[in-house]
Structure 1
Amino acid sequence: MVTNLLSHYSFAVLPVIRNTNNPGRGGFGRGRWHNDRGAGILGRPGYPPRQGYGYGNKFANGHRDERFISELKFSKSEETLSRKCIAFQEPCELACYSRVEGGDVYFDDRSLRLFKRLITEEIGADLNQGFDTFIEKKELGSEGFGDLLGCIRDKNIPLQNIHFVTFRNNLNKILATAYIRNEPWEMGVHKRNGVVYLDVHKLPERPRSELDRRRCYWGYCFESLATEDPRREDGEGIHHVDANVEYCSVIKTKLGAHRILMGAEMDCCDSTDEGRRFYVELKTSRELDYHTEERYEREKLLKFWIQSFLAGVPYIVIGFRDDAGRLVRTERLRTKDITHRVKMKNYWQGGVCLAFADEVLCWLYGTVKENEDYILQFAPPFNRLELLQAQSCPDAITNHVEQS
């Protein structure tokens, strides 16, 4: 049959598929079409293609950043990631170390505190007490990583089958990025003898006000109230809080195909009736109301769950305070119950966080080269991860490799 070359019918365009059950969800699949399954297959009618879309700050002043190595675009939707079932091995503690007042480090548990089971007796306490004598946390940088590596050497922990060595904080950032897409971060990446070391990088912060410092202190004060202190007599107020005193557990686990050895700071511990020790995470939060509960469950509970789940911490105790810093109530959560709490509201899924992290670790381990140094960053426009070339490796990692 002979037909006309031109037709008066328009081209077919696939409809936009929208998630009507949860229109407020952010993060996944937000391409040029705002839906939860990524960009449409066909171009959006009536709009020309956007030039340079998705490159963001890969180009500076019209020129490509010379440090750029690779990128991982966030192209998979939450629905796609939720179909993946990524195995996560139960965390196993191999060693520990303690930092005491003055900064000395010991490869034992002398800084581990005991949870105070009668924490409800502290309701009404003023979390400002002791603020005037508070010793703020010093930024140790790679020196802190050196303490973790020193513990690994001291306890003769083999690294032959380990793919990543890191602090838990770096993994927290990666897993949380599955949903939280507006908080920049970066970390050092250094591959030596087949092991990728992820060094913590702290981004510059705006100057903190007196109120900012005080709110930060409220968390440390609650930790002191919620733990036993033999030096403090009954009824005695909080004083001389030193944020540099810490206890760190060295944990082995496996996410997907990658074995991970990580250091995780622990707040305190408790024990079962049989004497088995387990850790407890301590958190503070502003008292909830109708306007703040959703954000609390979307973001704070997500971060609480990730931090405790990765290290196998079974319980989280949250101290809720008012705007003046007074403790108004406490709540104990089981880590495994948090995902059930948010499941019905469809705010986030723990399995999606694991699937997202598995994508990142597979891309990262397969991209970095032996004896080379990089920076992994998550920065505006917050639609991908970038791997940049770095100029050097921290002395702590170099010395560890030489001594191992």
Structure 2
Amino acid sequence: MIAAWLFKREICEYRGADLNKGFESYIEKRDLGSEGFGDLLACIRNSNILLQNTIHFVTYRNNLNKILATAYLREPWKMGVHKRRGVVYLDVHKLPERPKSEVERKRCYWGYSFENLATENSFSDDGRGIDANVEFCSVIKTKLGAHRIVMGAEMDCCDATDDGRRFYVELKTSRELEYHTVEAYEKEKLLRFWIQSFLAGVPYVVVGFRNDAGILVRTERLRTKDITQKVKAKNYWQGGVCLAFADEVLCWLYGTVKENEDYVLQFVHPFNRLELLRAQSPCPEAITLHVQQLSGAAD
């Protein structure tokens, strides 16, 4: 069953919408740390997924996004790695960020504003009350190579076929393309769009292109499976390379980490290798409580 806001198809005809509307009342996203992971683990417990199936990894999609993208991009990231009862839990670690300028905050808001504009039953049409902390999370069982994964993934909205079958849609924003920005867009943004959508089986990405004033210029609907073909001739990146790299990382990780021990996996400057370090802090309480409750359910 798919639960999310409904995609507003007429967004593809919108021109000139002001994505700045509602910025003054916008509630920015809070960093919940492991609290958010606890919500995902509670959902997994309630469904008995781990008791009924062999699962190797539990994670949010964001961690897998980082691993797959590292095949081509050089950006820093860290994640917690905790092996309990044969399952490796990948916890999101947010790197320190410098405070955003007003312009950067607005650019971030334009993405949420476009999501609001492109969905039914969300916030008010003028953007008042947009809260970046309100989201839908889908829990997905998937495989990458030989490893079975349970993954939590935030979903923007859903659409439906003529016979009523629902499917998810990713919503993205980007600065309108110019001749000198197309290459960077196809090398980096399309790579990120494809990874995020492919991992969760999302068939469509809708991109809202805006100008520097935050005005919606046009929209483009992309089929996820066509994105790799779009860049194939230019040899910017290949989806198969990302998947093969991630498979190698997961094989190495699962075979290296020890039961009941805690690590940090990181890719940081000088960006020439992945590092697996023993963690200096204990296992997050959310994971410890989760494992304890699973043990009680199995007894």
TM score, norm. by length of structure 1: 0.71
Matches of residues 3-402 of structure 1 in structure 2 within 5 Å?
109=3, 112-159=4-51, 160-181=53-74, 183-229=75-121, 232=124, 236-390=125-279, 391-402=281-292
Q: Post-superposition shift, 1:239?
A: 1.2
- Quick one: structure 1 residues 380 and 118, their matched pair in 2 at CA, closer, same or farther if it must change by over 3 Å? same
Q: Post-superposition shift, 1:381?
A: 0.9
Distance 1:237 1:384 in 2: 47
- Contact kept? 1:136, 1:243, Cα under 8 Å: yes
Could you tell me which runs of 5 or more consecutive residues in structure 2 were left unpaired when the two chains were aligned: 295-299
Deviations 1:180-239 (A, max 9, x none): 02x10000000000000000000001111001100000000000000013774xxx5221
Distance 2:162 2:150 in 1: 30
Runs of 4+ in 1 over 3 A off after TM superposition: none
Query: SS at 1:323's partner residue?
Result: coil
Q: Which amino acid aligns with 2:116?
A: S
Distance 1:270 1:389 in 2: 44
Q: Which has the larger radius of gyration?
A: 1
Distance 2:149 2:12 in 1: 37
Q: Which amino acid aligns with 1:150?
A: A
Equivalent residue for 2:297? none
Q: Which amino acid aligns with 2:241?
A: V
Distance 1:225 1:231 in 2: 9
Distance 1:360 1:157 in 2: 24
- Quick check: which one's helix share is greater? 2
Distance 2:12 2:144 in 1: 37
Q: Which amino acid aligns with 1:149?
A: L
Query: SS at 2:67's partner residue?
Result: helix
Let me know the Cα RMSD of the aligned residues.
1.2
Q: Post-superposition shift, 1:158?
A: 2.5
- Contact kept? 1:122, 1:225, Cα under 8 Å: no
Deviations 1:258-293 (A, max 9, x none): 111000000000000111010000000000001100
Distance 1:231 1:378 in 2: 38
Q: Post-superposition shift, 1:321?
A: 0.2
Query: SS at 1:280's partner residue?
Result: strand
- Quick one: structure 1 residues 230 and 343, their matched pair in 2 at CA, closer, same or farther if it must change by over 3 Å? closer
Q: Which amino acid aligns with 2:85?
A: N
Distance 1:341 1:314 in 2: 15
Q: Which amino acid aligns with 1:137?
A: K
Q: Post-superposition shift, 1:157?
A: 1.7
Query: SS at 1:125's partner residue?
Result: coil
Could you tell me which runs of 5 or more consecutive residues in structure 1 were left unpaired when the two chains were aligned: 1-94, 97-108
Distance 2:6 2:95 in 1: 33
Distance 2:223 2:70 in 1: 23
Distance 1:120 1:198 in 2: 37
Paired residues, what number? 292
Distance 1:258 1:229 in 2: 37
Equivalent residue for 1:86? none
Aligned identity (percent) is 77
TM score, norm. by length of structure 2: 0.95
Distance 1:323 1:243 in 2: 22
- Contact kept? 2:12, 2:220, Cα under 8 Å: no
